[in-house]
Amino acid sequence: MQFYNVQEKAMSKKNIVFDLVKSLEMSEKRYFKIFVKQQHKKDDIVYLRLFDIYDQCDEYDKQYILKQMSVKKGEIKNNPSLESRNNYLYNLIMKSLRAYNAGKSATRQIIELLLNVEILFEKGLIEQSEKHLSKAEKIAKKYELFHFYTQVDFWMIRLRNAGFGNQKSLEKHKQFINECINNVLLISDYFHLWGLIKEMKISNPYRNQRNSTVVNDKYESLEKLKALKDKRTSFLFNTNFAILEASKYYYINDYETYYKIYKEQILYWDEFSHQKQERIDVYINVYNNFLNACFLTFRYDEMKTHLEHFIEFPKKFRAANKNTIKAKIERTYYILLISLYLKRGDFDEIIFLQDTINRIREEYAGLIGIPYWALFDFAFMVSFVAEKRYEKAIDFYNRLNSYDKSLFRKDLIPTSIVINLQLLGAFV
């Protein structure tokens, strides 16, 4: 059997334009064609042909594309190379995507408002410029987008230097500056601790290597951050602090406390529903860890209920309907579902999911790491052995053995070796 090596596929480079076209949703493709036609540029209309060729191809084939593009010679000015055509088409698609996604998130709204501020300032329309800046400031505060604070501050200073503003606006600017300083210090402390945790995770990645003394040493900074947490009401900081605190209990195997922290976080996020759309990546992380906590504390019924809610996120949140987010959601859903089936010995249920996992493997090859593919393959290998379908089990053993073993859980290796001996015995 020639098995699918996800590591090779993830590392292979096809073509950035082909990849971009294949990532587009139907609505984005439709918008691109309308966008190009509205430009009324002859060259742009011609480039729609190249777009359609990519859209219709299942795989990138340079010779086939060149053949298709040469059917009508001289269509494109100066008959440029495929590379230059790709360059132009890529930029054209990105231009249409920027227009398509304009204003669809708080981040994009702030970027557009700051561009408006600059344009109006250059035209000498200082008062109008200040109104746009005020809107940008409010959005940045509402969604705690601290990285925009320095840009807002920059324009506050420029507007004041241009003679706009009174004592009231000056006081407002001072208050804003103090908030900036506090948040910068907060973020600095937070990232310092997060770096320590990442360092610990790299040096102690597996459960049997965890050491409570090492963990507690790494978390000394948590006590300092608790003082900051009590003084501030930042939504984002409270969530990130909870993630850091929970990770401490995870590494010392205190799963009950780990579960309680994430249970509280799920309820906490329900109070700030407007943040779910803008901070969907953080919310997905919180929900993912909550589901893991349910599994680790044997709350299987609760986990199953929330899993069904979790898999519906792309339908409920526009921001979750992206490949990177959908890959995380489906990865978590099926890993935990299969883990539950393994616990219960429902091997036929796992085997039934094989086509679904193959579809995910094809669709999200570069978005889901080797550790997760190894878990999927391990589960299928065990299930086929349990069902005495040894030839299929060997296929998954070979696939598992093809991965770089430093990239996945070490506890899978001894089990796979034992299963290999069992497989050898089955054919003797």
- Mean pLDDT across the stretch 340-353? 92
Q: Per the domain annotation, does 152 fall within a domain?
A: yes
pLDDT in the model for residue 258: 95
At 368, which CATH number?
1.25.40
Alpha-carbon separation of residue 334 from 88, 258, 328, 341, 367 (angstroms): 40, 22, 10, 10, 15
Q: What is the pLDDT of residues 22-48, one digit of tens each?
A: 888 888 898 888 888 887 566 667 788
Q: Given pLDDT bands bounded at 50, 70 and 90, which one contains residue 331?
A: very high
Mean pLDDT value of segment 310-323 = 84
Could you tell me which of 94, 109, 111 has the C-alpha nearest to residue 23? 94
Q: Taking all residues of the chain, what is their mean pLDDT, rounded to a whole number?
A: 77
My answer on whether 342 and 402 are in the same domain is: yes
pLDDT tens digits for 172-221?
767 776 766 666 666 666 566 566 555 555 444 444 444 455 555 555 55
Indicate whether 244 belongs to any domain. Answer: no
Lowest pLDDT segment from 312-316, 364-368, 384-388, 392-396: 364-368
Task: Say yes or no: 375 and 408 in one domain.
Answer: yes
Percentage of the chain lying above the pLDDT 70 cut: 71
Q: Copy the structure tokens of residue 39.
A: 């430009």
Inside any domain, residue 120: yes
pLDDT tens per residue, range 247-300: 878 878 899 999 999 999 999 998 888 888 888 888 999 999 999 999 999 999
Give me the number of domains the chain comprises: 3
Last residue of a domain, one of 116, 131, 165: 165
Residue 123 domain boundaries: 106-165
Span 144-155, mean pLDDT?
81
pTM of the model: 0.68
Burial of 423 (C-beta count, 10 Å sphere; 0-12/13-18/19+): middle
User: What does the pLDDT read at residue 154?
Assistant: 83
The answer to whether the CB of 336 falls within 8 A of the CB of 307 is yes
| Alpha helices (H) along 252-322 | 255-271, 273-278, 280-296, 300-310, 313-316
Is 45 a member of any domain?
Answer: yes
